[in-house]
Amino acid sequence: MDYLKLLQSITGDNLIRIVLSKPAKDSEASGVRIRPIKVKEQILFQVTKSIGSKSSNTCKEVHENLKAPELEKYLKEAIPGFFYQGLFETEDGGYTVLANKKGTVTVVKNKSVTGKKASLDHNRTKKYIIEEGSKVPFMVDLGVMTQDGKIVRSKYDKFRQINRYLEIVADVIPSLDTSRTITVIDFGCGKSYLTFALYYYLVKLKGIKADIIGLDLKSDVIAECNKLKNKYKYESLKFIEGDIGKFEGVDKVDMVITLHACDTATDYALHKAITWGAEVIMAVPCCQHELNRFKNSPVLSAVSEYGILKERMSAIFTDAMRAGLLTQAGYDTQILEFIDMEHTPKNLLIRGVKKNRMVPGKTLSKSLESLTELAGGEITLKKLLRDTPYEENDT
């Protein structure tokens, strides 16, 4: 199917959603989401444009409702004029639209399960990626679901946590080249329920070809995870004992996930992801002790004289520096709120999506230099990036 025929086939009855990504340099919006809605019994298409930089908190969303002919005209201009990639999800299947700077547009049909159309009304009930009533093996073993797919009432929070994680993943799928097999590394996978959830979502629900590797330092954990993946017959999922900083099992990695890698282990994981040129990086740091060992600037003495406040301040400084370094390495970086599986206090998730261009220069910006001076020392990620240069983007 060519692009024009795809656009002509879109109707309010069959469209689930459209996501436009990989903006051209002169694109006003960094991304666009489109979905059908019902307004006064009329089917329209809501176009939501993200304008500005998420990393600098200047991003705003602009909404516009279009009729079908207007949507077709808009999409003809948007690809390849302002975006190089589009994800089209319909009840008939999914399609990835790819464009290059010469204006050539290619449509690739995704090998995916037919999606379910959401309600067009504005006041909709919460829709989860993994829905109640669909029996999912790892959810049953986790005790979240019964054998007939019902959610165990006492485990409803865990059910929501897993879905929240998958929602964060869903946001970055348009940034991945899903026309080929993608490679995902999950370091510190632990019990691996989230790794299994990731596989189920990408491979089983979305029909994306993905090789997913779970890494952990504990041999007993790896043995149990491989036992479960064989039980579930998840063929392109494997678990390996090892440290991401020393892992050499692949040449190209598309997405790196590291949840709760302790202290500087997060820095080594981020460094490895950057040197791999990963398109997407997601990290939930913990135990950020490194800066806590340094003597802070006298300016912060009113805070640092209290141990618990210094510890929390050091954690915030550490993650701010990590986010800044990711931005300088060419990533559109966000810090999101994330609730983990064990009902611990809310954590921060650092998410970086590779952009089409580098931020000029590899030295710390003045703001990060000032932050380093206040903290009294450098974090490990900065040292690693300085000692091991990474390749710049080609575009």
- Report if residue 305 sits inside a domain: yes
As a whole number of Å, the CA-based R_g of the chain is: 22
Terminal-residue alpha carbon distance, the chain: 28
* pLDDT above 90: percentage of residues in the chain: 41
- Whether 169 and 272 share a structural domain: yes
Question: Token pair 């705003």 is at which residue?
Answer: 60
- Report if residue 187 sits inside a domain: yes
How many distinct structural domains can be found in the chain?
A: 2
Helical H segments across the chain, by residue range: 3-9, 68-81, 137-142, 156-172, 193-199, 219-232, 265-276, 301-304, 307-328, 366-375, 380-387
Over residues 141-150, the mean pLDDT reads: 88
pLDDT of 44 over the 60 cut: yes
User: Given pLDDT bands bounded at 50, 70 and 90, which one contains residue 377?
Assistant: confident
pLDDT of 395 over the 50 cut: no
- Report if residue 201 sits inside a domain: yes
pLDDT of 394 over the 50 cut: no
The angle, 0 to 180 degrees and rounded to 10, between the axes of the packed helices 307-328 and 380-387 is 30
- Whether 221 and 370 share a structural domain: yes
The rounded mean pLDDT for the chain is 84
| pLDDT computed for residue 126 by the predictor | 66
- Whether 172 and 100 share a structural domain: no
| pLDDT computed for residue 278 by the predictor | 95
- Whether 87 and 155 share a structural domain: no
Last residue of a domain, one of 110, 126, 152: 110
User: Given pLDDT bands bounded at 50, 70 and 90, which one contains residue 58?
Assistant: low
Last residue of a domain, one of 95, 110, 125: 110
The pLDDT tens digits for 67-103 are 989 999 999 999 999 999 999 998 878 899 999 988 9
- Whether 237 and 172 share a structural domain: yes
Last residue of a domain, one of 65, 94, 110: 110
Residue 42: which domain range? Answer: 11-110
Over residues 310-319, the mean pLDDT reads: 88
The pLDDT tens digits for 341-352 are 554 555 789 999
- Whether 21 and 78 share a structural domain: yes
The pLDDT tens digits for 186-227 are 987 766 788 999 999 999 999 999 999 999 888 998 998 999
pLDDT of 12 over the 60 cut: yes
- Report if residue 126 sits inside a domain: no
- Report if residue 4 sits inside a domain: no
Cβ–Cβ under 8 Å, residues 213 and 183: yes
- Whether 248 and 359 share a structural domain: yes
Secondary structure (3-state) at 130: coil
Q: What is the CATH number of the domain that holds 309?
A: 3.40.50.150
- Report if residue 117 sits inside a domain: no
Tell me the two tokens of residue 187. Answer: 């370091």
- Report if residue 264 sits inside a domain: yes
- Whether 244 and 370 share a structural domain: yes
Tally of CB atoms within 10 A around 81: 12
Global confidence as pTM: 0.68
Lowest-confidence range among 40-49, 126-135, 201-210, 314-323? 126-135
Cβ–Cβ under 8 Å, residues 78 and 7: no
- Report if residue 188 sits inside a domain: yes
| pLDDT computed for residue 207 by the predictor | 94
pLDDT of 33 over the 70 cut: yes
| pLDDT computed for residue 123 by the predictor | 45
Give 170-174's long-range contacts (Cβ < 8 A, gap of 24+). Answer: 170/129, 170/201, 172/255, 172/280, 172/282, 172/351, 172/353, 173/19, 173/87, 173/206, 173/208, 174/19, 174/20, 174/21, 174/22, 174/31, 174/85, 174/86, 174/87
- Whether 142 and 253 share a structural domain: yes
- Whether 185 and 253 share a structural domain: yes
- Whether 63 and 190 share a structural domain: no
User: Given pLDDT bands bounded at 50, 70 and 90, which one contains residue 11?
Assistant: confident
- Whether 160 and 296 share a structural domain: yes
| pLDDT computed for residue 392 by the predictor | 47
